[in-house]
Amino acid sequence: MSDEMIENDEELGRRKFLTGIIGVVAGAVATLVGLPAVAYLISPGVKKQNEESWLTLGPVSTLAPGVPTGFPFSRRIKDGWVESTQTGVAYAITQDGQNVKVFSNVCTHLSCRVNWNAERGGFFCPCHDGLFGVDGAVVAGPPPRPLDEFQTKIENGQISILLEA
């Protein structure tokens, strides 16, 4: 083998080595730059953007002792790229005009909506005749547990409930 051929082989080896190094460095740079960009683009799709929030229902003074009062509410929910509206009725009840309990109107059986029914003396679910007492406890029918109760606070005479994300 001539000296010239040996030099050509060494040159070729060096070129391949340098090309490989450049490829590895370019791949690392692309990964470092690309991953945050991809994460930025898909992040709204994978995280819930709603947070807990307090919703003011109305004044305590409007509640008649022992009689639940329904407060309709709605709020926008953003879950990734999907936006929707959550609606419901929060039933507030007080016995003494100071302490207030607020119940969800979602039946704990199969999520139908319950209504206060004075004749039956409770929250009635028309889907399967479920009945909840004024304290939210199950009185009759298939519901497996009491009505869900909102975390509640009263500030300046206004009732607020905590809506979770």
125 near ligand FES, rule: CB under 6 A: yes
Q: Tokens 């490829």 label which residue? A: 23
120 near ligand FES, rule: CB under 6 A: no
Query: Using CB atoms, what's the residue nearest to ligand FES?
Result: 130
Tokens of 68: 């639940």
Phi then psi dihedrals of residue 19, to 5 deg:
-60, -40
107 near ligand FES, rule: CB under 6 A: yes
Radius of gyration of the chain (CA): 32
146 near ligand FES, rule: CB under 6 A: no
114's CB contacts (< 8 A; 6+ apart) are: 105, 106, 107, 123, 124, 125, 130, 132, 147
130 near ligand FES, rule: CB under 6 A: yes
CB of 111 to ligand FES, least distance (A): 6
Q: Which CB atom, from 125 or from 161, has the smaller least distance to ligand FES?
A: 125
End-to-end CA distance of the chain: 76
Q: Which CB atom, from 71 or from 132, has the smaller least distance to ligand FES?
A: 132
* Distance (Å, whole) CA 108 – CA 64: 26
Q: Which CB atom, from 90 or from 159, has the smaller least distance to ligand FES?
A: 90
| Residues near ligand FES (CB under 6 A) | 107, 109-110, 112, 125, 127-128, 130, 141-143
